[in-house]
Amino acid sequence: MDMKSKKGVTLVEVVTAVAIMAIILVPVSLVFTTAYSNFTVQSDKVTAQQSARQVLFGKNVNLCGIMNGIMGDLERSDAASSKIDIGDGSTTTASSISIHYKDDTGKSGTKKYSLNGNKLDYSDSNIKPSNPSSPRGGSVDYFNGEKSPNDKEVNVTDFVVEKVNKITDTPTGTDKKTDTDLIRITVTVVCGRSGDITLQSSYRIPNIERP
């Protein structure tokens, strides 16, 4: 066989082809990488926003039954006894709230939300534990290890409960703080690369006591 009659590809041609492919593929790969990164961030933000809303307005059934969220539990609270405790009662601002209630059968109970590190502890005094020998009402992580589609945990970085004071003018022209029946809840949640997501809501204790 006459090898001299066969023509091949020179090294210069190979290098040139590789360079052209790199010029085309690098920008394309950057587009896909950027798009995936943005998708990840947005997915984490959506999870964080949903989680913050769940703290305030409730979520589906989990280990502790139906969770109504803080606003839902306040709506169902035993307003007739005005038993809504913020922290240890020594301040108007705290990182925990206890809500006393009566269920549909008239049975009394207490639900509590409290910040514990980067977790929100939740307990209900009437919930039966998985272990019958354990006492009722043990605390659980409100999110129970839930994760985003990107496998990132939900962390509560701040949880503030405030009893709002009203500023009024006195006859002498100086301001005076007077207690009101308004409770303000602020929760900050982070998930993966979401950054801090903060939601706030308020609840006004009814002036007319429920029977």
- State the average pLDDT over residues 134-157: 78
112 strand-pairing partners: 98, 123
Q: Which residue has the higher pLDDT, 102 or 118?
A: 118
pLDDT band at 6 (very low <50, low <70, confident <90, very high): low
Whether 211 is in a domain gets the answer: no
Per-residue pLDDT reduced to its tens digit, 149-185: 778 889 999 999 988 776 665 556 565 555 567 889 9
- State the average pLDDT over residues 116-120: 92
Tell me how far apart the alpha carbons of residues 125 and 108 are, in angstroms, rounded to a whole number. Answer: 9
Whether 152 is in a domain gets the answer: yes
Structural domains counted in the chain: 1
Whether 178 is in a domain gets the answer: yes
Q: Which residue has the higher pLDDT, 137 or 149?
A: 149
Instruction: Tell me if residue 90 falls in helix, strand or coil.
Output: coil
Per-residue pLDDT reduced to its tens digit, 69-80: 898 888 888 755
Q: Which residue has the higher pLDDT, 83 or 120?
A: 120
Q: Which two tokens stand for residue 129?
A: 């534990």
Q: Which residues contact 208 (CB under 8 A, 6 or more apart)?
A: none
* Residue 142: domain span: 10-204
Whether 5 is in a domain gets the answer: no
Instruction: Judge contact between 57 and 47, C-beta under 8 A.
Output: no
- The backbone torsions φ and ψ at residue 21, rounded to the nearest 5 degrees and listed phi first, read -65, -40
Tell me how far apart the alpha carbons of residues 85 and 73 are, in angstroms, rounded to a whole number. Answer: 13
The per-residue pLDDT of the chain, averaged, comes to: 77
Q: Residue 71: which of 181, 204, 189, 206 has the closest Cα? A: 204
Per-residue pLDDT reduced to its tens digit, 187-207: 999 998 888 999 999 988 775
Tell me how far apart the alpha carbons of residues 208 and 80 are, in angstroms, rounded to a whole number. Answer: 8
Three-point CA angle 113, 129, 69, nearest 5°: 30
So what's the pLDDT on residue 189? 93
Question: Does the global pTM surpass 0.85?
Answer: no
Whether 49 is in a domain gets the answer: yes
Whether residue 87 has pLDDT greater than 60: yes
Whether residue 133 has pLDDT greater than 60: no
Q: Which residues contact 194 (CB under 8 A, 6 or more apart)?
A: 41, 44, 45, 47, 48
So what's the pLDDT on residue 151? 84
Whether 173 is in a domain gets the answer: yes
Whether 210 is in a domain gets the answer: no
Whether 76 is in a domain gets the answer: yes
User: What is the C-alpha R_g of the chain?
Assistant: 29
